[in-house]
Amino acid sequence: MKREKAEIIMAYNHQEIEKKWQQYWSNHKTFKAENKSDKPKFYVLDMFPYPSGAGLHVGHPLGYIASDIVSRFKRHQGYNVLHPMGYDAYGLPAEQYAIQTGTHPEVTTNKNIARYRQQLDQIGFSFDWDREVRTSDPNYYKWTQWTFIQLFESWYNKKTDKAEPVSDLKVAFEKEGNQNIDAVCDETPLFTANEWKLKSEFEQQEILMSYRLAYLSETMVNWCPALGTVLANDEVKDGLSERGGHPVERKLMKQWSLRITAYAQRLLDGLEVVDWPESLKEMQRNWIGRSEGASLHFQLAKPDGSEEQAKGIEVFTTRPDTLFGATFMVLAPEHEWVDSITTEEQKAEVSEYVQWAKNRSERERMTEVKKVTGVFTGAYAINPLNNQEVPIWIADYVLAGYGTGAIMAVPAHDSRDFAFARHFNLSIIQVVSQPGDEPSDPNTWEESYDSKDGVMISSGFMDGMNVKKAIKAAIQKLEEINVGTGKINYRLRDAIFSRQRYWGEPFPMYYKNGMPYPLNEDDLPLELPEVDKYLPTETGEPPLARAKNWKTEDGYPLETNTMPGFAGSSGYYLRYMDPNNNQEYFSKDANQYWRNVDLYIGGDEHAAGHLIYSRFWNKFLYDLGLVCEEEPFKKLINQGKIQGRSSFVYRVQGTNQYVSYGLRKQYNTQALHVDINMVENDVLDTEAFKKWMPDFKDAEFILEDGKYICGHEVEKMSKSKHNVQNPDDLIEKYGADTLRLYEMFLGPIDQHKPWDTKGIEGVYRFLKKLWKLYFNDDDQLIVVDEKASDDELKVLHKTIKKIREDIDRYSFNTSVSAYMICTNELSDLKCHKREILEPLAVLLEPYAPHMAEELWSKLGNEGSVSHVDFPEYDEKYLKEDNFEYPVSFNGKVRFKLSMPVDASQAEVEKSALESDEAKRWLEGKTVRKVIVVPKRIVNIVVG
RNA sequence: GCCCGAGUGGUGGAAUUGGUAGACACGUUGGACUUAAAAUCCAAUGACCAUUGCGGUCGUGCGGGUUCAAGUCCCGCCUCGGGUACCA
């Protein structure tokens, strides 16, 4: 009885307070952002989550808490803050579940969203929920579809370096054909205006297709049979699908693609102006993969006289300087000329090899990188600079998808060519000499010399030049003799945009005579139809082919593919600006006001996916004049992942006995994961363990000091490792404010760190201690109006300064300790004064908003504290009269010396040398030098 | 292989511009209160040596260097994490 009573009086009742204020915020729309405002704007965005069935674990809110702190801080500084949240609602898990159970993915998704929302609300985020978007909502995906149509109706003009309407292109074709058009497009033969006019509608559309930014084409795709769909390059990791880890094959399929390659250079250039982590920018640079070099043609030694072969085989090289060392050529097995150049004698061998290469999985190909394979075609080409005949080989180390799918091989200066030449006994000629080294016989080399550091030899006109100069000279020569030209190549591929799945945006396209046409914009959104099963049809068509009447009013069949996951997330940050607009994606005014995202927080796993697609999407809309900023995300922070901390028990081999961590070496044991909820401070609750699973019912324990101590390890948080910490239990026990503070206290926001519940008590204690500055044990307000002392003011103002600086540099962990220090010091001073405690409540708001609101209101204030001015600090309270100088001798600190802060260097030096403590260290030594750094240190050099 | 990032007490981490290394917190130990426990409060807590007191030596992954002074800057390595990989 007594105990219960004590708990009721318990001063800080987080459960009641947090519920109350969450309700208040929701009722009063405290965090609603207005599109019309005289205030400066600040846009803080989180990467919106995919609502998975597992709900949130403690890792998810980490970034949300950080962005919420910044949002709240900016509101206190008078900004109109846009801080929205929504859901990336299309995704494979809900669809896989639908396949298994027949439950509509929308049902699953809505259920998961409801759970996410409830969890998010509990943490006390200051989102403007009136702006919520869901990618699967027709009102949202209408604009995803709309953007797709704009992409379809656009082409990329290299002359103006931007996207322009296809309608303009048609006008140009009618006027002068395509000879003056400089576009990023598929290879298209030249035609005149007359020729254009003579073409059929179908032929014209076919040509336009090769210019469109969203285009349909037969391409080599990553086909994942287990998922029954095609995947984009960034969705494939190590030859396996990123989701589910299923094998991926190469397959030729007719697919929609986005011509993101048109933007390669701008995507690269834009990285220079954004404030992103260097590592992330580097990842994008690598993904875009710009390389400078030359494109040139090798004539066939015996062309068959066809127009095609007359041009020769085109290759791309970054080392045109080494042309004199090009002793053979290699084509990718998929190269279009393989059949036509192979000689009769080699036919069988070549076709066998091509077949073999084709059937290899991507995974095999990757894991067997070191294995050298290839076959001779029997054909020869002519090196354009020295007119030597070189054999043409086929090998799968040359990729069809990069450059032209053909290379000139320079074995002396390229390690892959070197390995190939060695294996097949092809000749190797040295053309670059390492500085300070004599040229030697390459046949004796252990490896090729790939470095660009060196001087040309055996290279005719380039002899004696350094590599850099020779590259320029070679390109010039190639252009002179009209066989090649300088060229920049990108590794970036066009984004494959079709998925053979149900749960995604339908394409707003229909087919007339096999040619795709866009729907009328008035007919958008094209809503996702109902189907009887979420599987492909018997004939292998995507699930949408099951839909009844999947055709236009005129009876033309609609596209049956759906869009990929990154479609909906590419422009969601724009829709937040004006989420309920039925007329437009977003209004011009809204975009002019909100412009772009000032702070974007999310994981770095999106480096090569979402963050590139989004930038592309934004640049395209910029070209259309719809958005006013070319880069969508000004500042970006990657929050680190929170890893799990697994606990282990040690089962003695073949028994049901479990030995405590410290004694496990004495036995032959096997480590088993145990649920971290049964473990506190590494001590196992043995009774709970016995009840956990039937297998453990009769478990026996070998204890140390009467306790069973568990082992631990840092691993990924996952259900199977029983180390998932969900926030709900912690919030119930300690409250959201504690959780928020603790997640920040764990360490720098951008660092990966293991979750460890141990420290949360300390943060909870801090909040209770802070509460006690305002209330006594009977929960009576004890704040007084007495004038604050200098000491108290100093504590407050140094904390204000620290918190402001810390938030400005996103150092959230150090803020938390600043609050703790402040509370400790005010407690020591027994300070209960309004002059200190009222500003402190405001200061606390970004991190612990519920408590701040409660304190603010209990102090007699009306309404929410959210928009109250953030406290300013005054230097005059921070000033010290004295500074305690550490005095060191030869760099070792020996004693402290208190001096007035305005003491001159000479005075400090004099006092230091004359002080009693100094004598000991000066005895028998000469002072060689004295360094005095004002308000820092004194260093006396003796010897 | 290549490109990034990181290594600081038993643990998470702090040290913002080269200037007192280890703030703050956890954990541990000892103590107060209590019949007891929880909660709370107080004290100690990098290692080693000396502990009769003053104290001393070492110490930020390793080895070197620059400097009056280095966790911080430079050179060379090691380990871990991430990205990428026949990209010509």
Q: Is the CB of A332 under 7 A from strand B?
A: yes
Q: Which residues contact A121 (CB under 8 A, 6 or more apart)?
A: A22, A26
Do A517 and A153 meet the contact criterion of CB atoms below 8 Å apart? no
Q: Is the CB of A532 under 7 A from strand B?
A: no
Do A886 and A109 meet the contact criterion of CB atoms below 8 Å apart? no
Q: Which residues contact A413 (CB under 8 A, 6 or more apart)?
A: A319, A322, A325, A430, A431, A432, A448, A449, A450
Do A215 and A259 meet the contact criterion of CB atoms below 8 Å apart? yes
Phi, psi torsion values for A401, nearest 5 degrees = -85, -10
Range name among A233-237, A555-559, A688-692, A807-811 with the lowest pLDDT average: A233-237
How does strand A495-496 pair with strand A249-258? antiparallel
d(CA A470, CA A667): 69
Q: Which pLDDT band, with edges at 50, 70 and 90, does A188 fall under?
A: confident
Q: Report the pLDDT value the prediction gives residue A168, as an integer from 0 to 100.
A: 96
Residue A189: CA atoms inside 13 Å, Cβ hemisphere, count?
Answer: 9
Percent of chain A with pLDDT over 90: 65
Do A184 and A161 meet the contact criterion of CB atoms below 8 Å apart? no
**Highest mean pLDDT: which of A76-80, A461-465, A641-645?**
A76-80
Q: Where are the beta strands (DSSP E) in A19-131?
A: 41-46, 80-82
The pLDDT tens digits for A378-389 are: 999 999 999 999
Size of chain A in residues: 943
Residue A234 has pLDDT above 90, yes or no: no
Residue A317 has pLDDT above 90, yes or no: yes
Which domains, and CATH codes, for chain A?
33-138+572-638 (3.40.50.620), 147-266+494-565 (no CATH), 291-488 (3.90.740.10), 643-725 (no CATH), 740-876 (1.10.730.10), 880-942 (3.10.20.590)
Dihedral sign (CA A487, A491, A497, A498): positive
Q: Is the CB of A896 under 7 A from strand B?
A: yes
Phi, psi torsion values for A897, nearest 5 degrees = -135, 115
Unique residue bearing structure tokens 């028990």? A649
Do A291 and A471 meet the contact criterion of CB atoms below 8 Å apart? no
d(CA A232, CA A207): 25
Residue A1 has pLDDT above 50, yes or no: no
Q: Is the CB of A820 under 7 A from strand B?
A: yes
CA neighbor of A308 nearest in space, from A435, A214, A189, A400? A189
Q: Where are the beta strands (DSSP E) in A318-456?
A: 328-331, 375-382, 389-394, 406-409, 432-433, 455-456
Residue A3 has pLDDT above 50, yes or no: no
CA of A436 to C1' of B74 (A): 26
The pLDDT tens digits for A628-672 are: 999 999 999 999 888 888 788 888 888 888 888 777 778 888 888
Q: Report the pLDDT value the prediction gives residue A20, as an integer from 0 to 100.
A: 95
CA neighbor of A602 nearest in space, from A204, A61, A31, A145? A61
Find and list the nucleotides of strand B having atoms within 7 Å of a protein beta carbon: 3-5, 11-16, 19-21, 23-28, 37-41, 56-57, 68-70, 81-88
CA of A268 to C1' of B75 (A): 32
| Measured distance between the N- and C-terminal CA atoms of chain A, rounded to whole angstroms | 74
Q: Is the CB of A414 under 7 A from strand B?
A: yes
Percent of chain A with pLDDT over 70: 99
CA of A380 to C1' of B88 (A): 19
To which H or E segment does residue A314 belong?
strand A313-317
* 3-state DSSP assignment of residue A373: coil
Q: Which residues contact A446 (CB under 8 A, 6 or more apart)?
A: none
Residue A6 has pLDDT above 60, yes or no: no
Average pLDDT of span A749-755: 87
Q: Report the pLDDT value the prediction gives residue A5, as an integer from 0 to 100.
A: 37
Structure tokens at A148: 């797709």
* ipTM, 2 dp: 0.94
User: How many of the other CB atoms lie within 10 Å of CB of A226?
Assistant: 12
Structure tokens at A316: 């791309």
Residue A681 has pLDDT above 80, yes or no: no
Better-predicted residue by pLDDT, A917 or A388: A388
Do A760 and A730 meet the contact criterion of CB atoms below 8 Å apart? yes
The pLDDT tens digits for A700-745 are: 888 877 778 787 777 777 777 888 888 898 999 999 999 999 999 9
Range name among A211-225, A570-584, A833-847 with the lowest pLDDT average: A211-225
Better-predicted residue by pLDDT, A439 or A821: A821
CA neighbor of A379 nearest in space, from A334, A423, A345, A332? A345
CA of A313 to C1' of B88 (A): 15
CA of A237 to C1' of B74 (A): 38
CA of A933 to C1' of B65 (A): 25
Q: Is the CB of A813 under 7 A from strand B?
A: yes
Q: Is the CB of A361 under 7 A from strand B?
A: no
CA of A895 to C1' of B8 (A): 24
Average pLDDT of span A553-561: 95
Q: Report the pLDDT value the prediction gives residue A664, as an integer from 0 to 100.
A: 78
Average pLDDT of span A892-911: 86
Q: Which pLDDT band, with edges at 50, 70 and 90, does A10 fall under?
A: low
User: How many of the other CB atoms lie within 10 Å of CB of A79?
Assistant: 19
Residue A9 has pLDDT above 50, yes or no: no
Residue A59 has pLDDT above 80, yes or no: yes
d(CA A99, CA A906): 83
- Radius of gyration for the alpha carbons in chain A, expressed in angstroms and rounded: 35
Q: Is the CB of A639 under 7 A from strand B?
A: no
Q: Is the CB of A398 under 7 A from strand B?
A: yes
Residue A312 has pLDDT above 70, yes or no: yes
Residue A929 has pLDDT above 60, yes or no: yes
d(CA A756, CA A190): 66
Structure tokens at A161: 């370096």
Return chain A residues 861..890 having CB < 7 Å to nucleic acid strand B: 884, 886, 888, 890
Q: Is the CB of A750 under 7 A from strand B?
A: no
Average pLDDT of span A846-874: 96
Q: Report the pLDDT value the prediction gives residue A138, as an integer from 0 to 100.
A: 97
Structure tokens at A99: 């396949």
Residue type, A934: P
Structure tokens at A385: 């600079």
Residue type, A573: Y
